[in-house]
Structure 1
Amino acid sequence: MLSLSLKEIKFFKLRYILIGFILFFVASLVFIISGLANGLANDNASSMKNMNAVSYYVSKDSENRMDRSRFAATDAEKISNANAQPLGIQMFTLKNKKSDKKLDVTMMTVNPEQFLMPSVTEGKTISKSSKNEVVADITLQKEGAKLGDELYDENTKTTLKIVGFTENQTYSHTPTVIMNNNSWYSIFGGKENAGFNAIALSDTHASTKADVKDAIKDGKFVEKDALIKTIPGYEAEQSSLMMMLAFLIVIAVFVLGAFFYIMTIQKVNQFGILKAIGAKNKFLIGSTMLQVFILSVVSIGLAIGFAFVLQQIMPNGIPFVFDFKLILQFGGALLVVSLLGALFSTTSIVKADPLQAMGRAE
């Protein structure tokens, strides 16, 4: 069966190359859109995705949106459990004093000595007692920011100094600027006026939840994935791109099915002759499906390689992430689609008449 399949592919190589190119281009488009969807998701919520927390405590009336949740700082600081830490998030426009360039950022306050603080890749980290020192996401460097630069907030007349950079810490398509609670309080005019958006939990133990509820009554626990989906624009972006992917796969079913059907129809005479010399339907169908499997694996494999290379040469400003696990899932879906399209065309093999084929051969 394998020998027959390979010989036919070799003999009609131009025909199979053309079909392979179609599958390659469809698969490449699926993988590229998948990479863009994954890149946009990371750009919108990487700070939350990479945060060492499993769930969050937010206001009951917040509709699971962190930007609509608020707890008084004086209440949040009553929590003594090390597995529950206050988290503050607020979008600001800061001015780089060195270049006078305005920067849209998301300010985030955490306890630098606890589980919410991300690792620093350049410079130094901040301490619990440091004053107006911050660690910024490395994407801020694209805007010209460097270590030692001072960021000024015109509304609160606060100056923040960049002492370190971190990676994969963006929120709502803006780089995060991470500070300690003392700096957070100074921006909002003291602890009495400041607040936190959520309480992040590093575990879901009953004792941890009880300690949080004892300190703050009017709230509810929300899982990380549910909270990420409520980030403004996140769900709309992902739904749109996933719909495009779904339509691409549906289109691939019809396109590939039509090509395999036409190709099978063209070989009806050959199938009839093979039946006349003893070939069974099972053998002929298996040979056809094997050809499609080989063609699909090669084409999808080349498309995966193309998507990987594309990520390496793509400009840094384009949010594209090559997630090999996700790519394999879509690749598997396309392989199934190709086999289903080919299976639809095998009805022509069953209907092939040996006597009619022999008559045509005369």
Structure 2
Amino acid sequence: MFSLSLKEIRFFKLRYLLIGFIMFFVAALVFIISGLANGLSSDNASSIQNMNAHAFYLDKDADNRLDRSRFDEKVLSDIKDNKNLQTVGLQMLSLKEVNSDKKVDVSMMGIDPNSFLMPKVTEGSTIKSSKGPTIVADDSLKKQGIEIGDKLYEENSDITYTVVGFTEKQTFSHTPVAFVNKESWENLFASTQKVSYNAIVIKDANKELQEDVSSTIKDGVWVEKGDVIKGIPGYDAEQKSLFMMLAFLIVIAVFVLTAFFYIMTIQKVNQFGVLKAIGAKNNFLIGSTIIQVIILSIVSIGAAIGFAAILQAIMPKGIPFVFDFGLILIYSGVLFIVSIFGALLSSASIVKADPLQAMGRAE
């Protein structure tokens, strides 16, 4: 059975090469859109995705949006000190580079630098209250020419921040996150005399502790991290649009591959009839066709995976593209099943092949 499949592929090289190319391009397009979906997801929400947090206590009227939630500092002071709980502040700001007209948009995030909310610093040093207004920012700011030691001015609060370090994969709503300590965060509100934080973050699930927070601070609700991510402006719409494209691509792949396998099977009805006349069973012929499809699928999908991986390496860094090998394997499995399904639908022609008619045509 296997040798028959290989012999037929070698004999009809062009025919199988064309089908293989079609499978390759469909799979490559699925992987590319998947990479773009992952890239946009990371660019929009990586600061929350990578945050060591289980859930967020938000204002119940915030619609699960971290940027809309507000809790007064005086209210938060009623919460007992606990290493499993931390407050976080979030504010979209435009900072001006000192001695330059350049401005950068950032999501300022006020945290305790000694807590579980502080990400790993990949370059430079961390933020400390003793050093005055300092920032550790996502390294995407480097693309805008910002370096360690640069000073960034915020005009509303009249505060100049010094960039002391960089971290990675820390963005919010497609803007780099700039981490500041609580002292610097509270100084942002000096002019209004009203300091507020956006949420209380719990590191690990603790029902008793969460109930304690809910009873102490009213008008709030615990929101799972996944729902907070979905609440980021534009996140849900972006992901649904891209995954809808992926779904349509897979549906299109079903019809295209089924059509090609059906046409190819129809062209070989005479051959199937002759083989039946000399004793070949339907199971043998269908199995031979399935083996051909398996070989084509493995080669084509494997080549598409390699193409997507190379594309990530050569793609400009300004384009958000993330090659998630685990997710790619899932889509590969779906495409493989789709290919087998298409071949099975076309196998009805093999069963209908009439040996007598085939021998008559062969005369």
Bin of the TM-score, shorter chain as denominator length: over 0.9
> Helix, strand or coil: the match of 1:65?
coil
Distance 1:252 1:99 in 2: 53
Aligned residue number for residue 315 of structure 1: 316
Pairwise CA RMSD of aligned residues?
Answer: 1.2
In structure 1, distance between residues paired with 2:275 and 2:191 = 87
CA contact (8 A) 2:57 2:223 kept: yes
Equivalent residues in 2 for 1:244-323, closer than 5 Å: 244-323=245-324
Any unmatched runs of 5+ in structure 2?
none
More off after superposition, 97-106 vs 323-332 = 97-106
Q: Distance in 2 between matches of 1:56 and 1:129?
A: 29
Aligned partners of 1:156 and 1:187 also within 8 Å:
yes
Q: In 2, Cα distance between the equivalents of 1:294 and 1:72? A: 63
Could you tell me which residue of structure 2 aligns to residue 27 of structure 1?
27
Q: Please state whether the residue corresponding to 2:61 is helix, strand or coil.
A: helix
- Taking the aligned partners of 1:215 and 1:192, their CA distance within structure 2 comes to 23
Alpha-carbon distance, 1:190 to partner: 7.1
Task: State the partner residue of 1:109.
Answer: 110
User: 8 Å contact 1:105–1:176 — kept in the other structure?
Assistant: yes
Matched position secondary structure for 1:340: helix
Cα shift readout 1:8-66 (whole Å, capped 9, x = no counterpart): 11111111000000110011011000000000000000000000001110011111111
Distance 2:284 2:135 in 1: 69
Note if contact 1:75-1:216 (Cα within 8 Å) is conserved in structure 2: yes
Provide the residue aligned with 1:357 in structure 2: 358
Runs of 4+ deviating beyond 6 Å? none
Q: What number of residue pairs does the alignment pair up?
A: 362
Give the CA deviation at 1:233: 0.3
Asked if the contact 2:48/2:229 (under 8 Å) is kept, the reply is yes
Normalised by the length of structure 2, the TM-score is 0.97
Q: Secondary structure at the match of 1:151?
A: strand
> Deviations 1:278-332 (Å, cap 9, x if unpaired)?
1100110011011001101110000000000000000000000000001111111
Residue 347 of structure 2 corresponds to residue 346 of structure 1: yes
Q: 1:130 Cα deviation (Å)? A: 4.0
Task: Tell me the equivalent position of 2:92.
Answer: 91
Alignment-mate amino acid for residue 144 of structure 2: E
More displaced 10-residue stretch of structure 1: 130-139 or 15-24: 130-139
What SS is found at the alignment partner of 2:127? coil
What displacement does 1:202 show? Answer: 0.4
Q: Kindly provide the CA deviation profile for residues 170-214 of structure 1, in whole angstroms up to 9, marking residues without a partner as x.
A: 000000000011001111117951111111100121232134234
In the TM superposition, 1:53-202 aligns within 5 A as 53-79=53-79, 80-189=81-190, 192-202=193-203
Matched AA of 2:106 = V
**C-alpha distance in structure 2 between counterparts of 1:211 and 1:148, whole Å:** 43
Gaps of 5+ in 1: none
Q: Secondary structure at the match of 2:128?
A: coil
Supply the AA of the counterpart residue of 1:254. Answer: F
CA distance in 1, matches of 2:113, 2:258: 57
- Between 1:249-258 and 1:208-217, the stretch displaced more is 208-217
Equivalent-residue separation in structure 2 for 1:212 and 1:340 (angstroms): 53
Per the TM alignment, residue 152 of structure 1 is displaced from its structure 2 partner at its CA by 0.6
CA distance in 1, matches of 2:129, 2:291: 63
Aligned equivalents of 2:181, 2:234: Cα separation in 1: 28
Of 94-103 and 348-357, deviating more is: 94-103
- Distance between the aligned counterparts of 2:176 and 2:318, measured in 1? 13
Separation in structure 2 between the aligned mates of residue 250 and residue 130 of structure 1, nearest angstrom: 58
Check conservation: 2:157, 2:191, Cα contact below 8 A. Answer: no
**SS class of match (2:118):** coil
Hey, what's the Cα distance between the residues in 2 that align with 1:227 and 1:120? Answer: 24
Larger CA deviation: 202-211 vs 9-18: 202-211
Q: Is the 8 A contact 2:308 2:323 kept in 1?
A: yes
Is the CA contact 1:112–1:128 (under 8 Å) kept in the aligned structure 2? no
Instruction: Give the secondary structure class of the aligned counterpart of 2:19.
Output: helix
Where 2:67 maps in the other structure, the secondary structure is: helix
The structural deviation recorded for 1:216 is: 1.6
Q: In structure 2, what residue type is equivalent to 1:188?
A: F
Which secondary structure does the structure 2 equivalent of 1:67 belong to? coil
Structure-2 residue corresponding to 1:50: 50
**1:74–1:191 CA contact under 8 A, matched in 2:** no
- Which amino acid is the alignment partner of residue 277 of structure 2? A
Whole-angstrom CA distance in 2 between matches of 1:128 and 1:236:
39
The amino acid that maps onto 2:40 is L
Q: Which moved more, 1:97-106 or 1:283-292?
A: 97-106
Q: Say whether the 8 Å CA contact 1:56–1:222 is kept in structure 2.
A: yes
Q: What is the aligned partner in structure 2 of residue 4 from structure 1?
A: 4
Question: What is the rounded CA distance, in whole Å, between the counterparts of 1:160 and 1:98 in structure 2?
Answer: 13
CA distance in 2, matches of 1:161, 1:107: 13
TM-score (norm 1): 0.98
The percent of aligned pairs where both chains have the same amino acid is: 64
